[in-house]
Amino acid sequence: MYNFDFEKPSSVADAVAALGAEDAQALGGGQTMIPTLKQRLASPSKLVSLTGIADMKGVSASGGAIKIGGATTHATVAAEAGSYPALAETASHIGDPAVRNRGTIGGSLANNDPSACYPAAALGSGATITTNTRDIAADDYFQGMFTTALDEGEIITAVTFPIPEKANYQKFVQPASRFALVGVFVAKYADGVRVAVTGASNDGVFRWAEAEAALSSNFSASALDGLAASGDMISDLHGTAEYRAHLVGVLTKRAVAAAA
Amino acid sequence: MTKVTMTVNGKEMSGDVEGRTLLSGFLRDDLGLTGTHIGCDTSQCGACVVHVNGVAVKSCAMFASEADGAEISTIEGQANADGSLNVIQQAFQDHHGLQCGFCTPGMVMSAAALLKENPKPTEQEVRDYLEGNICRCTGYHNIVKSIMAASGQDVGAIAAE
């Protein structure tokens, strides 16, 4: 690992100021960032830890939505997001227990790994990503593998999820990494169903529009019969593009059947 | 270099660290607490699990600077006050929960974290909790058995898989 300066501010304003330095980089729980640094795939001049900012931690629910601070760990979401059970359940299966005690929702969404779970939950719920400067709709936020709408030095301070009538996340894990080989998040709202798919596409997390239309008129697994996910699917040693496309259909049906 | 101070196994410890110094390296190289093992250094194997403010963390995936002011528990702090093995350590000995022993510090620390939040886990819950702890001897069966025994449960019926 190349060396860097380390700062741990206690306010968003101080963090934004610290990130103004050339080649400074925000640090969430570090569960992706630290392995990346070890491989010398990144060489920031300064890391600005966001874990000391009390305003960016915690879970609160009101008015049919649940708001999660950007520096909230997966373990805390799993334990405290009970008003959105599918979200708590999703968080409870990210990584392993020790990773969940460090990794944060803001870090996951800022990284936008194409196989991560939270992007599916955020896009599948039509969440709002709040930064130090603005609110970004999930539909505008995810812009492809490891690419987001965030500007340089912009910090995710909170994520707000509208609570659906029913939802479920199904993850088919890649057995070695335990990341999603494919993951599907289904959420049923009064005004329609959202289906978000992670792990499958070279374009990163995406909404499966045909499935959403079918499920919005008939929320049952059989409504998906005959539908096939299309798009630029990932093909690698863990699974071909055809296999991943097939899994998208299977997991979406399972998610609909399990939605509660 | 920056000075960090943390409470390690009940004692206040300080040292000067670089930004990139990992908690695992600080514990081992600066404090001489080499019971915390570094197996993979890629945060996969869990041999380096310690408790930070009461929760299990992979110390190779946390900077020492992040632990400034924190309460740290390592394998060296697990024995009873009289030096005898604690209930989890004793169970690992009684049920042959270690083979080469390299992963054992992480296994014991993860087990301690599990039993703190779930004092009577099911076998499946133990296996799920150990997802991030890898035993390259593949000695999981007796590790699970040890943790079940440490929780005071009858382990006679746990079949080999």
Residue range A40-62, pLDDT digits in tens: 999 999 999 999 999 999 999 99
**Superfamily per CATH, domain B2-77:** Beta-grasp domain (3.10.20.30)
| pLDDT, position B158 | 73
The count of other CB atoms within 10 Å of the CB of residue A192 is 13
Element holding A6 (H helix, E strand): strand A5-7
Query: Which of A195, A129, A123, A117 has the alpha carbon at shortest distance from A159?
Result: A129
* Domain limit, last residue, from A135, A162, A189: A162
Token digits of residue A53: 């900012």
Same domain, A93 and A146: yes
Task: Determine the average pLDDT of the residues in B22-41.
Answer: 97
Same domain, A133 and A151: yes
Same domain, A29 and A81: no
Same domain, A149 and A105: yes
Same domain, A147 and A171: no
Q: Kindly list the residues from chain A whose CB atom is less than 8 angstroms away from the CB atom of residue B60.
A: 34
DSSP letters, A126-170, are T-EEEESS-EEEHHHHB-STT-BSPPTT--EEEEEEEPPSEEEEE
Task: Determine the average pLDDT of the residues in B121-150.
Answer: 96
DSSP letters, B108-128, are HHHHHHHHHH-SS--HHHHHH
Which domain CATH number covers A149? 3.30.465.10
Q: Kindly list the residues from chain A whose CB atom is less than 8 angstroms away from the CB atom of residue B132.
A: 95-99
Opening angle at CA A98, ends A24 and A86, nearest 5:
95
Same domain, A40 and A61: no
User: What confidence tier does B160 reach under pLDDT thresholds 50, 70, 90?
Assistant: low
Q: Kindly list the residues from chain A whose CB atom is less than 8 angstroms away from the CB atom of residue B129.
A: 97
Which domain CATH number covers A14? 3.30.43.10
Same domain, A68 and A154: yes
How many Å apart are CA A217 and CA A198, to the nearest integer?
A: 24
| pLDDT, position B159 | 62
What is the fold, at CATH topology level, of the domain defined by B87-150? Answer: DNA polymerase; domain 1 (1.10.150)
The count of other CB atoms within 10 Å of the CB of residue A124 is 33
A65 phi, psi to nearest 5 deg: -140, 155
| pLDDT, position B28 | 98
Same domain, A125 and A180: no
| pLDDT, position B148 | 97
| pLDDT, position A259 | 96
Domain boundaries defined on chain B: 2-77, 87-150
List the 13-72 stretch of A: residues with Cβ below 8 A of B.
30-31, 34-35, 37-38, 46-47, 49, 51
Cβ-based neighbours of B117, under 8 Å, separated by 6 or more:
none
Q: Kindly list the residues from chain B whose CB atom is less than 8 angstroms away from the CB atom of residue A99.
A: 43, 58, 61, 132
Same domain, A81 and A175: no
CA distance B49 to chain A (A): 8
Opening angle at CA A131, ends A128 and A135, nearest 5:
40
Q: Residue with structure tokens 């405290």?
A: A80
Same domain, A88 and A120: yes
Same domain, A193 and A157: no
A108 phi, psi to nearest 5 deg: -65, -45
Beta bridge partners of A25: A47
Q: Is B49 on the interface with A (CB under 8 A)?
A: yes
Domains B2-77 and B87-150 agree in fold: no
Mean pLDDT of chain B: 95
pLDDT along chain A (260 residues), means of 10: 96 97 96 95 96 97 97 98 98 97 98 97 98 98 97 97 98 90 98 97 97 97 94 94 97 96
* Domain of A30, in residue numbers: 5-49
Query: Which of A141, A95, A87, A121 has the alpha carbon at shortest distance from A198?
Result: A121
Q: B20, A49: Cβ pair inside 8 Å?
A: no
Closest residue in B to A4 (Cα) is B19
Task: Determine the average pLDDT of the residues in B76-97.
Answer: 97
CA distance A236 to chain B (A): 21
Beta bridge partners of A156: A131
| pLDDT, position B41 | 86
| pLDDT, position B134 | 96
Token digits of residue A34: 């630290």
Q: Is B131 on the interface with A (CB under 8 A)?
A: yes
Own/partner pairs, A230-238, CB within 8 angstroms, 24+ separation: A231/A200, A231/A201, A231/A203, A231/A206, A232/A201, A232/A202, A232/A203, A233/A200, A233/A201, A233/A202, A234/A114, A234/A199, A234/A200, A234/A201, A234/A202, A238/A174, A238/A181
Q: Provide the domain count of chain A.
A: 3
The one-letter code for the residue type at A193 is V
Q: How many residues does chain B have?
A: 161
Opening angle at CA B82, ends B38 and B39, nearest 5:
5
Q: B63, A51: Cβ pair inside 8 Å?
A: no
* Domain limit, last residue, from A162, A182, A198: A162
* Domain limit, last residue, from A109, A132, A162: A162
The pLDDT of residue B25 is above 90 = yes
Same domain, A60 and A150: yes
Going by DSSP bridges, is the β-strand pair A46-49/A5-7 parallel, antiparallel, or unpaired?
A: parallel
Nearest to B20 among A3, A49, A101 (CB): A3
Which domain CATH number covers A253? 3.30.390.50
CA distance B57 to chain A (A): 5
Q: Residue with structure tokens 């194409």?
A: A114
The pLDDT of residue B66 is above 80 = yes
